[in-house]
Structure 1
Amino acid sequence: MEIELGRECDVDNWMQLVNKVKDSFPGLETKEALEEHRHTVLGFMRKGSAICARVNDQIVAALLFSREDSMLCFLAVDENYRRQRIAEKMVTCMLSLMNEKRDVAVTTYREGVPEGIAARAFYKRLGFVEGKLTEEFGSPVQELILKR
């Protein structure tokens, strides 16, 4: 397995993963939303803000981040590759590319939402702490902050 920056030529493989996990992410319900996400991914790739984990030619995990906003924007791991610390390695890679003096934010499902149990536990294990409650794509979420 290799963890590396995603390139524009990776977008089709990237979107295959997104299609597998889309039901876990609000805002990816329609064909139009997925096409918009594809354009978003390409923008992140052009800025060097997309990280992927690759096994052979298959992308098995994907992460988008914003240096400007000091934010982890998207993180997904194929269910067949979970519990192998891939996400942790990708977050470590992301942190090495960001300003080490700025806190890092991520939003995920609020406490008590079944779809968010694993994600919240993962982020908390990495040191993220609960922040403000907000909403994204019409879904109630909570910001988690990694103090740096």
Structure 2
Amino acid sequence: MQAVLGLASQVESLFGPMVGVADFEKGLEDCLKTGRVLGCKVQNDVCGAAIVDRDGNELCWFVVDSGKRGLGIGARMLEKVIVELEPGREMTVQTFAPGVPEGEAARRLYMKYGFADREDGGLNPAGIRTVIMVREKK
């Protein structure tokens, strides 16, 4: 749990407050207990995490350690997420809207794996514009 909270602390400026927020920490604990958190380790260091909703076929949360970005970890994690979810069903993710500089790498990754913008996602808790991206069933 602490390793994932460490990752969360790196992205609070982009996603909104998480560490120390009881609802987030309780939700994370529940996700860990129910196997909804997928992690990535490099040399025993947790360097990425994803939270999935298998029922909704949705990628709910996705983060790569800021010191490990650009090494292909995000791509390997997203490939694992796609396998864990159902590729035969439509998949969704809420991510940064076009034109949000901090979100361009995430958008490129999702588009590389077949996700496309579907609809406005509103503002996230950090006040940043988002969209819902969808990967059509394969």
Range of TM-score over shorter length: 0.7 to 0.9
The reply on whether 1:67 has 2:54 as its aligned counterpart is yes
Aligned-partner SS, 2:94? strand
CA distance, structure 1, for counterparts of residue 78 and residue 54 of structure 2: 13
Aligned to 2:6: 16
Aligned-partner SS, 2:70? coil
- Contact map agreement 1:108 1:144 (CA 8 A) in 2: yes
**More deviation in 137-146 or 98-107?**
137-146
Aligned-partner SS, 1:60? strand
Q: For 1:43-62, what aligned pairs fall within 5 Å after superposition?
A: 43-62=30-49
Aligned-partner SS, 2:11? helix
The percentage of counterpart residues that share the same residue type is 22
RMSD: 1.8
CA distance, structure 2, for counterparts of residue 30 and residue 15 of structure 1: 6
- Contact map agreement 1:21 1:78 (CA 8 A) in 2: no
- Contact map agreement 1:50 1:63 (CA 8 A) in 2: yes
- Structure 2 unpaired stretches of 5+: none
TM-score when scaled to structure 1?
A: 0.81
The reply on whether 1:83 has 2:83 as its aligned counterpart is no
Aligned to 1:28: 17
Shift in alpha-carbon separation, 1:31–1:47, aligned structure 2, 3 A = closer
- Contact map agreement 1:53 1:61 (CA 8 A) in 2: yes
Aligned-partner SS, 1:80? helix
CA distance, structure 1, for counterparts of residue 55 and residue 33 of structure 2: 14
- Contact map agreement 2:100 2:129 (CA 8 A) in 1: no
**C-alpha deviation, 1:139, in angstroms:** 4.2
- Contact map agreement 2:50 2:60 (CA 8 A) in 1: yes
CA distance, structure 2, for counterparts of residue 120 and residue 100 of structure 1: 19
Aligned-partner SS, 2:63? strand
CA distance, structure 1, for counterparts of residue 117 and residue 70 of structure 2: 23
Instruction: Count how many residue pairs are aligned between Structure 1 and Structure 2.
Output: 135
- Contact map agreement 1:23 1:29 (CA 8 A) in 2: no
